[in-house]
Amino acid sequence: MKAVEIKDGIYWVGAIDWAVRDFHGYVTPRGTTYNNYLLMDEEVTLVDTVKYDFSEMTIKNIQSTVDPARIKHVVINHIENDHATSLDKIMELAPDATIYMTEKGKRGIDRFFDTARWKIKLVKTGDTLKTGRFTLQFLETPMLHWPDSMMTYVPEAKVLFSQDAFGQHIASAGRFDDEYSASESLADLEDAVIEYYANILMPFGTLINRKLDEIAKLGLQIEMIAPDHGIIWRQNPERVLQMYRDMASGKAEASVAIIYDTMWHSTEAMTVPMAAGIKDEGLDVTVMKLRATPMSIAIKEFWKSRGALIGSPTLNNILYPTIAELLTHLRGLRPNHRLVGAFGSYGWGGGAVKESYEEFKRMGLETYEPGLQLLYKPSLADENVCYEFGRQFARRVREYHQQF
Ligand code: FEO
């Protein structure tokens, strides 16, 4: 491996993880990268480290450019394990370096390492570090997405080191957006941005909009966004900024996601006429059986659509466990500006549809009521009821979508 110069004097020295398929529970079919950056200046600076398992890889990349002992400053924008757990390996090689992080970052990193042996400088928004021709400007971004998070901007290079924000779980041979969209597709790249946002940043939309306003007010000229995962935005950083603005404001497609699970195919059988009704009403529809779909993909599809129908059979008078798990995930992610309805088959007394609505209301989501529950297997007449339920729901989704 070798460092990649991303701007004059600024190098990517991270690690490509082609193999990871489970990122603390999220599926990562495209793998990921742990990006960190070396600023070659009178005083050499490393921005972020990598996941512990990849320490050797980043050290080799640094060594391809400079003796790590020359690193004078180490910026830790975010302390989560995938970015900060190789800090001790870096500090073994650069023991005289000073670490720059937020006060909350220090509080967290103290739980991982004996930090008393290191020089640490706490920074906040507005603080700067001059390394020669470069100036590093620190910008705290608490809860984007951890309390410790911050970004670092270098005005002379017009580069924003954005830690997790604007990242994606993509392992690729090329480091840049234009390279990826040439070899794969822009649509695939944007889908990865949405998936990342939906599963990690969804709860923080209000904060994201506020922070984007603050960045705009500071007048930062951004030619390049260098996140800690995935490709670096050099061709069109404006595009990902706009995507974040849109998603933070709850942007969705006028479409419907049907997410269901099933025991003996009765709840599943309800989805077929329902999807036909939605389609005949002119809306696109995606149907996902949850047991056959990774949770993080189901959450992405939920987030992409303005409307969602959640289907659960009743098991022992309550929700089917996979659907209960989905609703628990969603409650933590605090989605908004979505219309939801519930359906399902039951054999004894029912209960899953009622519980689904209770969960929707706890989340503060707009609900389409009443839901639809059927005894055992849908008859031909029931299929017409399901079709009409789909049509009516799609109509309501279209009306609701007009508000945004
Ligand atoms: Fe990529 Fe919040 O860690």
Whether 78 sits among the annotated catalytic residues: the reply is: yes
Structure tokens at 335: 């989605």
Annotated catalytic residue: which of 17, 41, 82, 148? 82
Q: Is the dihedral of CA 93, 96, 100, 106 positive or negative?
A: positive
Q: Tell me the domains of the chain and their CATH numbers.
A: 4-248 (3.60.15.10), 257-398 (3.40.50.360)
Please state, in angstroms and rounded to a whole number, the distance separating the CA atoms of residues 107 and 39: 26
Could you tell me which residues come within 8 angstroms of residue 195 by beta carbon, excluding any fewer than 6 positions away? 168, 169, 296, 297, 300
Q: What confidence tier does 1 reach under pLDDT thresholds 50, 70, 90?
A: confident
Query: What percentage of the chain carries pLDDT values higher than 70?
Result: 100
22: pLDDT strictly greater than 90? yes
How wide is the angle at C-alpha 64 spanned by C-alphas 114 and 169, nearest 5°?
70
Each residue of 275-302: pLDDT tens digit? 999 999 999 999 999 999 999 999 999 9
Each residue of 81-137: pLDDT tens digit? 999 999 999 999 999 999 999 999 999 999 999 999 999 999 999 999 999 999 999
Q: Which atom of ligand 1 is nearest to the CA of 229?
A: 1
139: pLDDT strictly greater than 90? yes
Q: What is the mean pLDDT of the chain?
A: 97
Q: Beta strand pairing status for 339-346 and 366-367?
A: parallel
Could you tell me which residues come within 8 angstroms of residue 117 by beta carbon, excluding any fewer than 6 positions away? none
Please state, in angstroms and rounded to a whole number, the distance separating the CA atoms of residues 382 and 378: 5
Please state, in angstroms and rounded to a whole number, the distance separating the CA atoms of residues 61 and 18: 17
Annotated catalytic residue: which of 80, 88, 191, 366? 80
Look up the pTM and report it. Answer: 0.95
H helix runs in 143-250, sequence order: 177-183, 186-196, 205-218, 237-248
392: pLDDT strictly greater than 90? yes
Give pLDDT, residue 183: 84
* Mean pLDDT calculated for residue range 193-197: 97
* Mean pLDDT calculated for residue range 192-207: 96
Each residue of 203-219: pLDDT tens digit? 999 999 999 999 999 99
Q: What confidence tier does 45 reach under pLDDT thresholds 50, 70, 90?
A: very high
Ligand 1 neighbours, Cβ below 6 Å, are 78, 80, 82-83, 145-146, 164, 228-229
Give pLDDT, residue 115: 97
Give pLDDT, residue 184: 87
Q: What confidence tier does 57 reach under pLDDT thresholds 50, 70, 90?
A: very high
Distance 348 CA to ligand 1 centre (A): 45
